[in-house]
């Protein structure tokens, strides 16, 4: 039914907490209650020392591996790396992935029902940060009875959560694997976030975030936001390779304003597809969380200071040569700071033409690298 190296049929679970005492957020606001959707794969060992937390990127969810139904066409978003014999080997590790706060795959976010009104929150949902997302994940670990993770890993926004774990919850983690990420969201990254948000604001159906009961969703705005996103995940070279100047389903130019080039068709298709699976308000909240992320800023402008308490952790930092969204220099600055803080750090800038998407595409290299890094950690415990 499923491929042999798949974790097979999985089920998304939920944890609800802060039902009495509200969950305090970095902004000063509070949330009550908080629900987190999560999945687990593999078995937790007797001394609870083989748990690995996977953190997802902007549009991901708790469903990282396996299939939710027997006839499910697509496995979870990181199925290539999670499963028996894969980079995160579920024969040996207990792998956890939870949907972040503010998102729309079962965790509390703007599309959740506000207890006070019985209606979806919309923009009444408080703005959350990467730090808030991670503190909610700490609650999940407490619930699962895991004192210390063997590793926390993730790419892009997932990598920021990894760094947040390492900097502010170091006693709960043995190793951190930040991939294709940054310790400080750059102005260029904020600029792209804002273009995406403006596309949503400009859609009349968005209606200041109040569209859940109107029957009209801001699909046009969200689709444009996603198209911009997709451009930033590719590279000049990967677009050349994947699409070139080829036309979609036609021989010659039509001299008209229709989707003509393959690259246009690809972006439009992905934009449309995205509106069927993601909530526009969540896009606003999650991109805002990205933009606020600045570990150095929270430690007097000195990134190394963020990791003063993290010297017991092993870091494996990975970047990709063609990633222009989170260019290698972001990772190099991180490695510099970790080195100055006295942390145990390995760093690799993987040669790839796939741009930011490489962290999902370069499976073979990642498997070889992560597999042996995790072997070493598992051998120590």
Partner 1 sequence: MSVSDQQAAAYAALRPDLQAVADLTPPGAKVLDLGCGDGALLDFLVRHKQARGRGIELSEAGVMACVRRGLSVRQGPLEEGLADYPTASFDVVILSQTLPFLDNPAAILAEMLRVGKSALVSFPNWGYWRCRLELLLTGRVPLAPDLPQPWFDAPRWQVVSITDFAQFCQRVGIAITAEIYLNRGRRVRIIKVKNLLATTAVFRLERQAWSGQM
How far, in Å, CA of 368 to CA of 381, rounded?
Answer: 21
For residue 369, state whether it binds partner 1 (rule: CB under 8 A).
yes
**Token code pair at residue 330:** 């972001």
Using H for helix, E for strand and C for coil, what is the string for the chain?
Answer: CCCCCCCCECCCEEEEECCCCCEECCCCCEECCEEEEEEEECCCCCCCCCEEEEECCCCCCCCCCCECCCCCCCCCCCCCCEECCCCEECCCCEEEEECCCCCCCCCCCCCCECCCCCCECHHHCCCCCHHHHHHHHHHHHHHHCCCCECEEEEECHHHHHHHHHHHHCHHHECEEEEECCCCECCHHHHHHHHHHHHHHHCCHHHHHHCCCCCCCCCHHHHHHHHHHHHHHHCCHHHHHHHCCCCECCCCCCCCCCCCCEHHHHHHHHHHHHHHCCCCHHHHHHHHHHHHHCECCHHHCCCHHHHCCCCCCCEEEEEEECCCCCCCHHHHHHHHHHHHHCCCEEEEEEECCCCHHHHHHHCHHHHHHHHHHHHHHHHHHC
Q: Would you say 207 or 339 has its CB closer to partner 1?
A: 339
Single residue of 34, 200, 289, 345 touching partner 1 by CB under 8 A:
345
Q: Which range of residues in 28-36, 117-125, 222-230, 330-338 is near partner 1 by CB under 8 A?
A: 330-338
Nearer to partner 1, 98 or 352 (CB): 352
Strands 51-55 and 88-89 turn out to be: unpaired
Among 97, 286, 335, 360, binds partner 1 (CB under 8 A): 335
Site for partner 1 in 238-297 (CB under 8 A): none
Nearer to partner 1, 301 or 342 (CB): 342
Binding residues among 187-226 for partner 1 as defined by CB under 8 A:
none
Cis before 33 (ω within 30): yes
Task: Tell me which of 169, 185, 330, 356 is the catalytic residue.
Answer: 356
Nearest distance in Å: CB 180, partner 1 = 15
Interatomic CA distance for residues 258 and 267, integer angstroms: 13
- As measured in angstroms, the least distance from the Cβ of 279 to partner 1 is 39
Q: How far is the CB of 156 from partner 1 (least distance, A)?
A: 20
Per-residue binding letters, 298-317, with partner 1 (x by CB under 8 A): ----------------x-x-
- 340 counts as binding partner 1 under rule CB under 8 A: yes
Single out the catalytic residue among 279, 323, 328, 331.
323
Any catalytic annotation for residue 230?
Answer: no
Residue 323 designated active-site: yes
The nearest distance, CB 346 to partner 1, in angstroms, is 5
- Of 21 and 351, which CB lies nearer to partner 1 in the complex structure? 351
Asked if residues 164 and 130 have their Cβ atoms less than 8 Å apart, the reply is yes
208 a catalytic residue: no
According to the binding rule CB under 8 A, does residue 346 interact with partner 1? yes
Of the listed pieces 60-68, 138-146, 261-269, 334-342, which binds partner 1 according to CB under 8 A?
A: 334-342
Instruction: Build a one-symbol-per-residue string for 103-142: x at contacts with partner 1 by CB under 8 A, - elsewhere.
Output: ----------------------------------------
- Other Cβ atoms within 10 Å of 322 Cβ, number: 20
Give least dist CB 370 to partner 1, A.
9
375 binds partner 1 (CB under 8 A): yes
- Binding partner 1 (rule: CB under 8 A), the pick from 332, 353, 355, 381 is 332
Strand-pairing partners, residue 39, are 97
Query: What's the min distance (Å) between Cβ of 350 and partner 1?
Result: 7
C-beta of 317: minimal distance to partner 1 in Å?
8
Give the active site residues. Answer: 156, 323, 356
Residues forming the site for partner 1 (CB under 8 A): 314, 316, 332, 335-336, 339-340, 342, 344-351, 365, 368-369, 372-373, 375-376, 379
């Amino acid at each position: 039914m499923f491929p042999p190296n798949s974790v097979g049929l999985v089920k998304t679970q939920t944890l609800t907490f802060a039902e009495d005492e509200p969950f305090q957020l970095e902004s000063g606001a509070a949330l009550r209650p908080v629900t987190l959707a999560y999945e687990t794969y593999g078995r937790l060992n007797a001394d609870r020392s083989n748990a690995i937390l996977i953190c997802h990127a902007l549009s991901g969810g708790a469903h990282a591996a396996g299939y939710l139904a027997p006839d499910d066409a697509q496995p979870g978003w990181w199925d290539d790396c999670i499963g028996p014999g894969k980079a995160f080997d579920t024969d040996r590790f207990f792998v956890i992935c939870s949907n972040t706060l503010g998102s729309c795959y079962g965790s509390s976010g703007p599309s959740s029902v506000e207890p006070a009104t019985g209606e979806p929150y919309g923009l009444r949902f408080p703005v959350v940060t990467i730090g808030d997302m991670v503190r909610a994940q700490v609650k999940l670990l407490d619930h699962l009875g895991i004192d210390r993770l063997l590793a926390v890993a993730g790419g892009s926004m997932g990598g920021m959560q990894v760094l947040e774990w390492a900097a502010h919850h170091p006693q709960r983690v043995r190793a951190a694997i930040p991939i294709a990420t940054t310790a400080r969201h750059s102005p260029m990254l904020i600029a792209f976030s804002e273009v995406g948000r403006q596309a949503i604001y400009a859609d009349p159906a968005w209606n200041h975030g109040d569209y859940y009961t109107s029957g009209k969703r801001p699909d046009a705005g969200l689709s444009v936001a996603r198209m911009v996103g997709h451009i930033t995940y590719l590279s000049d070279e990967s677009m050349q390779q994947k699409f070139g100047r080829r036309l979609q389903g036609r021989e010659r130019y039509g001299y008209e304003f229709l989707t003509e080039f393959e690259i246009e068709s690809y972006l439009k298709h992905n934009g449309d597809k995205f509106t069927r699976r993601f909530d526009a308000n969540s896009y606003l909240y999650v991109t805002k969380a990205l933009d606020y992320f600045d570990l150095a800023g929270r430690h007097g402008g000195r990134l190394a200071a963020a990791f003063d308490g993290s010297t017991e952790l092993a870091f494996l930092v990975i970047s990709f040569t063609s990633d222009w969204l989170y260019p290698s220099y972001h990772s190099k600055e991180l490695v510099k700071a970790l080195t100055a803080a006295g942390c145990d750090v390995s760093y690799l800038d993987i040669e790839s033409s796939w741009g930011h998407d490489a962290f999902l595409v370069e499976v073979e290299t990642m498997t070889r690298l992560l597999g042996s890094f995790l072997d070493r950690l598992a051998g120590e415990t």
